[in-house]
């Protein structure tokens, strides 16, 4: 648009100069030559000033149009593009950093969860192992107690009726429960001066060779399970006092 205005202005000046020249030629016969040159010079200077003013006006219009259209200079445009690229780069770097931090956090949380789960499993396994060992020890003790009780029953009442065998086992269990005697079968059976077979060594011989009878073992199992035909009696002998079962009296 501005270029077009310049072309128009130049065309106007050229046309004006041509017209002026023709006018001067027409008046040549009526005026003096010096007056003609002076007049021509003034007219040309006037139109030159007009052209200069027109160009300045075009520059002002161009500046206004750039401002109105939001146009930038090359330097300003390059600067704006550089700023935009820098902003995009920073945004991308920030996004990557945030992603990295999120992944690291997720990894830490996963590792922590795995650690806790491993600790939980280890604790459960340790507890299970402890219980298993405890149960095994109890079972072993129970088996040892059962064998010991069967052995002392065999030694003391192996020739007695089955109920009499259970009664001997019940006396030993009553002593374990009593506050007067030790609280284990082994301590009760091996307590000094209480059972003759324990003092002579016969009990240990029967025990370690498993020399007791199946009847004595079953009597021991029943006594351990709570079978008791003699109540709270703590003693048995052949002295003729108390509740009699076979050859033994319980009191």
pLDDT digits (tens, 9 = 90+) for 62-83: 444 444 445 678 888 889 888 9
What span, in angstroms and rounded, lies between the C-alpha atoms of 129 and 204? 33
The answer as to whether 109 is a domain residue is no
Choose between 49 and 99: higher pLDDT.
99
pLDDT at 54: 54
Report the chain's C-alpha Rg in angstroms: 64
Residues 6 or more apart whose Cβ sits within 8 Å of residue 175: 181, 182, 188, 234
* Nearest to 227, CA basis, from 182, 183, 172: 172
State which of 69, 85, 115 marks the end of a domain.
69
5-9, 26-30, 121-125: range with highest mean pLDDT: 121-125
Q: Do 154 and 243 have their domain in common?
A: yes
3 state SS of 239: coil
Cα angle 103-106-109, degrees, rounded to a multiple of 5: 150
Query: Is the CA virtual torsion 45, 46, 51, 56 positive or negative?
Result: positive
What span, in angstroms and rounded, lies between the C-alpha atoms of 146 and 152? 10
User: Which residues span the domain enclosing 53?
Assistant: 2-69
The answer as to whether 154 is a domain residue is yes
40-44, 71-75, 131-135, 202-206: range with highest mean pLDDT: 202-206
pLDDT at 10: 46
The answer as to whether 193 is a domain residue is yes
The answer as to whether 179 is a domain residue is yes
The answer as to whether 21 is a domain residue is yes
CA 96 to chain centre: 23
Q: Do 243 and 151 have their domain in common?
A: yes
- Out of 39-48, 129-138, 193-202, which region has the weakest mean confidence (pLDDT)? 39-48
What span, in angstroms and rounded, lies between the C-alpha atoms of 220 and 149? 6
The answer as to whether 243 is a domain residue is yes
Choose between 160 and 12: higher pLDDT.
160
Check: CB of residue 43 under 8 Å from CB of residue 19.
Answer: no
State which of 16, 45, 69 marks the end of a domain.
69
Residues 143-188 have pLDDT tens digits of 999 999 999 999 999 999 999 999 999 999 999 999 999 999 999 9
CATH number for the domain including 210?
1.10.10.2520
Q: Which tokens in the block code for residue 78?
A: 């390059």
Confidence at 107, pLDDT banded by 50, 70, 90: very high
3 state SS of 236: strand
Between β-strands 248-250 and 243-245, what pairing exists: parallel, antiparallel or unpaired?
Answer: antiparallel
State which of 42, 69, 96 marks the end of a domain.
69
pLDDT reading at 21 higher than 50: no
Q: Which tokens in the block code for residue 180?
A: 């007067």
Q: What is the mean pLDDT of the chain?
A: 80
pLDDT reading at 93 higher than 80: yes
The answer as to whether 197 is a domain residue is yes
What span, in angstroms and rounded, lies between the C-alpha atoms of 52 and 208? 136
Choose between 90 and 60: higher pLDDT.
90
pLDDT at 187: 96
The answer as to whether 177 is a domain residue is yes
Domains held by the chain: number: 2
């Amino acid at each position: 648009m501005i270029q077009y205005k310049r072309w128009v202005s130049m065309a106007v000046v050229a046309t004006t100069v041509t017209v002026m020249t023709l006018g001067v030629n027409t008046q040549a016969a009526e005026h003096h030559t010096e007056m003609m040159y002076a007049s021509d010079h003034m007219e040309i200077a006037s139109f030159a000033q007009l052209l200069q003013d027109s160009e300045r006006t075009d520059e002002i219009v161009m500046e206004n149009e750039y401002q109105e259209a939001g146009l930038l200079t090359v330097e300003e445009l390059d600067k704006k593009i550089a700023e935009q690229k820098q902003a995009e780069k920073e945004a991308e770097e920030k996004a990557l950093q945030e992603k990295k931090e999120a992944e690291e956090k997720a990894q830490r949380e996963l590792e922590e969860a795995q650690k806790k789960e491993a600790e939980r499993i280890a604790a459960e396994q340790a507890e299970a192992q402890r219980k298993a060992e405890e149960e095994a020890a109890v079972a072993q003790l129970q088996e040892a107690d059962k064998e010991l009780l069967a052995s002392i029953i065999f030694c003391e009442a192996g020739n007695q009726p089955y109920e009499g065998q259970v009664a001997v086992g019940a006396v030993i269990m009553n002593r374990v429960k009593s506050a007067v005697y030790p609280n284990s079968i082994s301590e009760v059976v091996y307590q000094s001066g209480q059972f003759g077979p324990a003092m002579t060594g016969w009990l240990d011989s029967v025990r370690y060779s498993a020399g007791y009878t199946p009847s004595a073992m079953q009597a021991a199992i029943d006594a351990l399970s709570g079978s008791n035909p003699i109540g709270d009696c703590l003693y048995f002998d052949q002295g003729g006092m108390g509740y009699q079962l076979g050859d033994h009296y319980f009191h």
